[in-house]
Amino acid sequence: MMLSASALLLALCGTASAFCGVREPSAEGLAILSEFHNQESTVSPDDFLRGERPSNINVYVHVIRHSATESTLAREVDEQIDVLNEVFEGTQFTFRLAGYDSPVYPDLAPVSQGSAAEELVKELRRGDASDLNLYIVPEIGDGIAGYATFPWDYLRSSQQDGVVILRTCVPGGNQPARNTGKVAGHEVGHWLGLLHTFQGGCQLGGDFIDDTPAEESPADGCPTGRDSCPGGGVDPIHNHMDYSDDDCRTEFTPRQIQRMATAASVFRRL
């Protein structure tokens, strides 16, 4: 059963755990996802993807620093690109570092969506809809680890497009359970059109993906065998779009891969 747009808008994204601060999709976005779901459900993921060509995504990384003495994270940035390619192995997407800068903003406030701090750092944005801008920042508001914009929002607010993560979440960072670089992988999943696996709670289909079992709430740690919505299969705690620890998140489903391909083709010209 598919949730109504109004019901989905009531489901909060990042309040259960200090992880992802992506905003709820707009009513327009939910309508787009519903249409994608209807189209994709008539075609198997294998058949859909058989004709898809590889999509090489240029990544522009902006390491924001409070002072010139802070590390520019040059080595970590290279490792982060490697992690993105590992997370998206088995999909059509590959990532290459196309540009890098590390400006200093001494008085920068915590970055959050719609804030003056976000406006400031996103002046660095480069490229077009097909290019990923990754902002690595010292602090994000509300203590979250990262957030992203959705692909269908690009035309309305292209300058805000991109992914923001904490510098403590890059490979080798000191954020407990979030320091392998997979936070960026989770957020890029949103950037390519995916919702959380727990979207809509136990209402089957809340994320508009048919092969992710319904999940009442975000997973914490790596709770093997967790079944928060009995009858639909155990929770997808190993999915990159859950909140499990980094080491626990290892996969996208075929329908998620299909969805990312659809959204990327329509909105990101990939």
Active centre residues (catalytic): 187
d(CA 148, CA 89): 20
In this structure, are residues 200 and 206 in contact, taking their beta carbons and an 8 Å threshold? Answer: yes
